C-alpha cells in the first residue's frame, strides 16, 4: 500500500517504504534501515499520544514484546514510547496468518495441526516464562513462517503480576478465543487463560470454526462462559486434549509442559530434510483499515430479544507488534475478515481512484450555507422521513424530513446552496421533504406543509429547483391520497389536485404531457423497474388475495393492467422479471420467507422458499439478495435457489440497505450511527469497518450509502453527511 502524501518520510532513522496497515489507533509502515534491514514500524495517532493511559499501555506493550523476544515472536528492534508520536519497530516476518491459511485452504490436516500446535505450546511456554500473559491468542495473531509459527500482537498482554490497568474490571479480547475468566473477571486472568485460547485455536485449525461460534459476539461470549464447546470434527486423542484445555475452571486445564509431551509423542518422526511445515500462502491480500473495538453499546430496540453484553473492549485493541490489523468482531466460522498482519501487503487494486482534489469530508445538512441562507433547524418537522441524498456530477444533493434541499460540493463537502421552503420557513408550521431525484440539471422534491404543528391543514407540492443555483423553477400542488409522486427517468409522475388521477410532467417546465385515471379505491406504489412506468395497486384496508400491476405507456399514458397474486415488497428485477419478497404471515417479526419472480407482461410467477428468513432492509444485485439484521449480521442469498451463500457478523447496529459495487465486487453498509463496513460480495469476508461518525439513532430510520466517482457518500438519519475513500477508510475527514 503506497504512502500517503502526509505520511512521514522516516521514523526513528528508518526510511518508510510503504504502508502495511492503518486504522483508528495508528499506522504500521514497512521501513528500512540504512543497512537495508526491513522492519515493521508502528506509529501511534497523535490523539492517542496525548492520552497518558494509552502511553502507559504502549510502554507495557513494548516491554512485553522485549521480554518475550525469541524464536516464536517478532522481536523489537527499536522503539521510542516518549516521542511526540510513540513508535515501535519490530522484526518484519514474511508469512500469512493462520486465519488466512484456513480461510483459503480449509482446515489443516491432523499432522500439520499437531505440529503447529506444538510450536504454539513452545511459544506460550517462552512467553509465560518471561512473566507475560498474551490474552489475545487467535488465528489472526499467529503467523505461519517457513521456520515455524510466530505469535504477535502483545497490545493487550500484561505481566502476570501486574493488575494496574485492569482494576476497573474491563475485559478486552476477541470473544471466540477468550477464556471465561476474561469475560467475567479480567483481573483474575493468568497463564491458564492462554491455554483455554489454545484449545479454541486447535478446534479452529481442525474444523475451520471456533468451539463457541454464534451469530453475534454477545452470544459467543455467553457460550464461552456457560455452555460446552462444539467439538464435532475433532477426533481422539486430540479431542480429549482440547476438552481439558477448554475446562471452565483455570485450575482444571493442563500445563503447557504436559501438552508439549502429548503432542510430541503423537507426531511421527521425520528427518531434518523432510520435516513437513505448514505452508505459507503465496497470495497477498490488501491490508484493511483498522479500528479499535468500541465498548459494547446498549442494544437498540429490536424485534427479538438480545442477550446482555458480557464483555466490553478498550481502545488498545488492534495494536499489533508486527503490524496493525483490523480487529473485527466476526467469528472464525462466519467468514470474518481477519488480516494477514505480518506480511507485505499487496497494492490495493480492487478500489477505483477518487478524483483529483477530493478529500474525505463530513458536514451536517443543518449547517449554515456560505451564502447566508436559512439554517435547516428553523424548519419544524412533521413527518417520518430520513435525510436522503443523491450524487450527480461534482455535487451531492440532499433533503428529506426537516432537511431543506441542499447542494454540497462532492470534492470538499462545502455547502453550495440551500433552497427555501414554500412558503418560507419562519419557525411556524411544519414541513416534511422528500427527494424525488436529480435529472437534466434539476433537483426535484416533494414538500408537505402544515400551517400549524399538529394541525390538519396540509398542502403538498412538487417542485423543480435549478441544480446549479437552487432557484425554484416551477411547482405544482398535488394530492397524494392514492399514490406518491415519483421520478421515472425523464418523467415526473404525480397525482393531480383531485388525487384520483396521475399526470406525467416535464421535469424542466412542469408542463403536463398526459393524464391517466387511477383504479378506484386502490392505493398504488410506484415500481421503478425497467423502462416503463409501473404502479402496484391494491385496496388499502382489505386483505384481497390479488393486486393490479398497472403499466403506463410513457408516450401517451395508455394503460395495461395485470392481476397477480398479492405480493409484499418489490425489490427490483432479475433477468427481466419483477422480484418480490413475501412476508411470512405467521411470523410476528415480519420476516421475508419467499421469493416470487413475476413476468411483467404475462403475470406468470415462480416461487422459491428462502432457506433462511430475511429481515428488512434487503438489496438486490447480480442475482444475489443481501439482508441485514438490526444486530449487524449480513446474509447473502441466491435468487435462483433461495439458499444462503454466506453469512457474516459485523458491529453495525440498525444497518441500512446494502450498496453493491460491481467493479470492486464489494458490498457496503452503514449503521444509523455512521459506522461503515465493507464486505467481499463473493465470500462475505469483512474487509474493513470504521468507527461511528454520527450520533447513535434509536428509531427505525436507516442510513444510506452512495457510490460516487470512486468514493462513498454516507447520509445518516440525523442529517450528518460524510465521505470515505474505500481504499483508505481510516483517513480523517475535514469539516465541510
Residues 6+ apart with CB under 8 A from 646: 335, 635, 636, 683, 684
Rounded-to-integer distance, Cα 635 and Cα 658, Å: 11
Classify 34 as helix, strand or coil. coil
> Which CA distances in Å does 30 have to 22, 344, 463, 514?
12, 8, 55, 66
Q: Parallel, antiparallel, or unpaired: how do β-strands 415-418 and 430-439 relate?
A: unpaired
Classify 732 as helix, strand or coil. coil
Rounded-to-integer distance, Cα 222 and Cα 242, Å: 19
Rounded-to-integer distance, Cα 702 and Cα 700, Å: 6
386, 702 contact by CB (below 8 A): yes
64, 316 contact by CB (below 8 A): no
27, 288 contact by CB (below 8 A): no
186, 331 contact by CB (below 8 A): no
The grid coordinates listed for 304 are 427479538
322, 93 contact by CB (below 8 A): yes
Please report which residue ranges of 598-715 form alpha helices under DSSP H: none
- Among candidate residues 136, 153, 432, 661, the one labeled active-site is 136
Beta strands in 575-724 (DSSP E): 577-583, 592-598, 605-614, 618-621, 624-628, 633-638, 644-649, 659-661, 666-670, 676-680, 686-689, 704-708, 711-715, 720-724
Rounded-to-integer distance, Cα 516 and Cα 142, Å: 67
Virtual torsion, Cα 48, 339, 166, 215, nearest 10 deg:
120
Residue of 74, 218, 46 lying closest to 151 (CA atoms):
74
463, 472 contact by CB (below 8 A): yes
Rounded-to-integer distance, Cα 122 and Cα 89, Å: 24
The grid coordinates listed for 121 are 505450546
Classify 129 as helix, strand or coil. helix
- What region does 433 belong to: left with phi over 0, alpha with psi -120 to 50, or beta? beta
Residues 6+ apart with CB under 8 A from 261: none
481, 496 contact by CB (below 8 A): no
Q: What is the Rg, in whole angstroms, of the alpha carbon atoms belonging to the chain?
A: 29
Q: Parallel, antiparallel, or unpaired: how do β-strands 522-527 and 512-517 relate?
A: unpaired
Residues 6+ apart with CB under 8 A from 200: 176, 177, 210, 211, 212, 229, 246
587 is catalytic: no
Q: Which residues are catalytic?
A: 136
Amino acid at each position: 500500500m503506497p504512502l500517503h502524501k502526509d505520511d512521514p518520510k522516516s521514523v526513528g532513522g528508518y526510511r518508510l517504504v510503504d504502508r502495511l496497515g492503518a486504522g483508528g489507533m495508528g499506522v504500521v509502515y514497512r521501513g528500512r534501515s540504512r543497512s537495508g534491514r526491513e522492519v515493521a514500524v508502528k506509529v501511534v495517532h497523535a490523539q492517542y499520544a496525548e492520552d497518558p493511559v494509552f502511553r502507559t499501555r504502549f510502554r507495557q506493550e513494548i516491554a512485553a514484546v522485549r521480554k518475550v523476544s525469541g524464536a516464536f515472536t517478532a522481536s523489537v528492534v527499536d522503539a521510542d514510547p516518549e516521542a511526540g508520536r510513540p513508535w515501535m519497530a519490530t522484526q518484519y516476518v514474511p508469512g500469512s496468518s493462520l486465519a488466512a491459511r484456513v480461510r483459503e485452504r480449509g482446515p489443516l490436516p491432523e499432522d500439520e495441526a499437531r505440529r503447529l500446535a506444538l510450536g504454539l505450546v513452545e511459544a506460550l511456554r517462552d512467553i509465560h516464562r518471561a512473566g507475560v500473559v498474551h490474552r489475545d491468542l487467535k488465528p489472526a495473531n499467529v503467523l505461519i513462517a517457513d521456520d515455524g509459527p510466530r505469535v504477535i500482537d502483545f497490545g493487550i498482554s500484561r505481566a502476570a503480576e501486574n493488575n494496574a490497568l485492569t482494576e476497573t474490571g474491563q475485559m478486552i479480547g476477541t470473544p471466540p478465543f477468550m477464556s471465561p475468566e476474561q469475560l467475567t473477571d479480567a483481573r483474575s486472568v493468568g497463564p491458564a487463560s492462554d491455554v483455554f485460547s489454545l484449545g479454541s485455536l486447535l478446534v479452529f485449525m481442525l474444523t475451520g470454526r471456533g468451539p463457541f461460534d454464534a451469530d453475534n459476539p454477545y452470544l459467543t461470549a455467553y457460550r464461552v462462559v456457560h455452555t460446552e464447546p462444539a467439538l464435532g470434527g475433532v477426533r481422539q486423542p486430540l479431542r480429549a486434549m482440547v476438552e481439558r484445555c477448554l475446562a471452565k475452571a483455570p485450575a482444571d486445564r493442563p500445563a503447557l509442559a504436559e501438552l508439549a509431551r502429548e503432542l510430541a509423542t503423537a507426531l511421527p518422526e521425520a528427518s531434518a530434510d523432510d520435516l513437513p511445515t505448514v505452508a505459507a500462502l503465496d497470495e497477498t491480500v490488501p491490508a484493511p483499515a483498522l479500528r479499535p473495538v468500541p465498548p459494547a453499546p446498549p442494544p437498540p430496540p429490536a424485534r427479538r430479544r438480545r442477550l446482555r453484553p458480557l464483555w466490553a473492549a478498550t481502545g488498545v485493541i488492534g495494536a499489533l507488534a508486527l503490524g496493525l490489523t483490523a480487529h473485527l468482531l466476526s467469528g472464525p466460522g462466519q467468514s470474518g475478515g481477519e488480516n494477514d498482519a505480518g506480511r507485505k501487503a499487496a497494492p490495493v487494486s480492487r478500489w477505483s481512484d477518487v478524483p483529483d482534489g477530493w478529500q474525505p469530508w463530513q458536514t451536517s445538512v443543518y449547517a449554515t450555507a456560505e451564502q447566508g441562507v436559512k439554517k435547516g433547524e428553523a424548519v419544524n418537522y412533521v413527518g417520518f422521513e430520513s435525510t436522503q441524498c443523491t450524487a450527480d456530477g461534482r455535487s451531492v444533493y440532499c433533503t428529506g424530513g426537516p432537511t431543506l434541499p441542499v447542494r454540497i460540493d462532492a470534492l470538499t463537502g462545502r455547502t453550495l446552496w440551500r433552497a427555501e421552503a414554500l412558503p418560507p420557513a419562519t419557525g411556524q408550521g411544519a414541513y416534511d421533504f422528500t427527494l424525488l431525484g436529480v435529472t437534466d440539471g434539476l433537483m426535484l422534491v416533494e414538500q408537505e406543509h402544515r400551517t400549524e404543528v399538529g394541525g390538519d391543514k396540509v398542502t403538498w407540492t412538487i417542485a423543480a429547483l435549478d441544480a446549479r443555483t437552487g432557484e425554484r423553477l416551477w411547482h405544482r400542488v398535488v394530492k397524494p391520497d392514492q399514490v406518491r409522486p415519483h421520478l421515472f427517468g425523464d418523467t415526473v409522475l404525480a397525482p393531480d389536485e383531485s388525487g384520483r388521477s396521475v399526470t406525467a410532467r416535464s421535469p424542466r417546465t412542469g408542463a403536463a404531457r398526459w393524464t391517466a385515471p387511477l383504479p378506484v379505491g386502490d392505493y398504488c406504489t410506484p415500481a421503478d423497474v425497467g423502462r416503463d412506468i409501473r404502479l402496484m395497486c391494491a385496496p388499502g384496508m382489505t386483505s384481497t388475495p390479488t393486486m393490479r400491476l398497472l403499466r403506463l405507456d410513457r408516450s401517451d399514458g395508455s394503460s395495461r393492467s395485470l392481476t397477480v397474486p398479492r405480493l409484499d415488497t418489490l425489490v427490483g428485477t432479475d433477468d427481466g422479471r419483477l422480484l418480490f419478497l413475501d412476508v411470512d404471515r405467521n411470523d410476528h417479526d415480519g420476516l421475508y420467507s419467499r421469493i416470487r419472480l413475476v413476468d411483467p407482461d404475462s403475470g406468470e410467477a415462480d416461487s422459491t422458499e428462502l432457506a433462511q428468513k430475511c429481515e428488512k432492509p434487503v438489496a438486490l444485485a447480480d442475482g444475489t439478495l443481501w439482508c441485514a439484521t438490526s444486530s449487524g449480521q449480513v446474509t447473502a442469498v441466491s435468487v435462483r435457489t433461495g439458499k444462503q451463500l454466506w453469512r457474516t457478523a459485523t458491529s453495525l447496529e440498525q444497518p441500512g440497505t446494502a450498496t453493491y459495487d460491481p467493479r470492486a465486487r464489494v458490498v457496503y453498509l452503514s449503521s444509523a450511527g455512521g459506522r461503515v463496513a465493507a464486505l467481499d460480495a463473493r465470500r462475505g469476508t469483512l474487509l474493513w469497518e470504521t468507527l461511528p461518525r454520527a450520533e447513535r439513532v434509536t428509531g427505525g430510520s436507516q442510513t444510506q450509502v452512495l457510490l460516487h466517482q470512486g468514493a462513498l457518500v454516507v447520509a445518516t438519519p440525523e442529517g450528518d453527511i460524510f465521505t470515505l475513500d474505500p481504499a483508505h477508510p481510516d483517513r480523517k475527514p475535514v469539516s465541510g
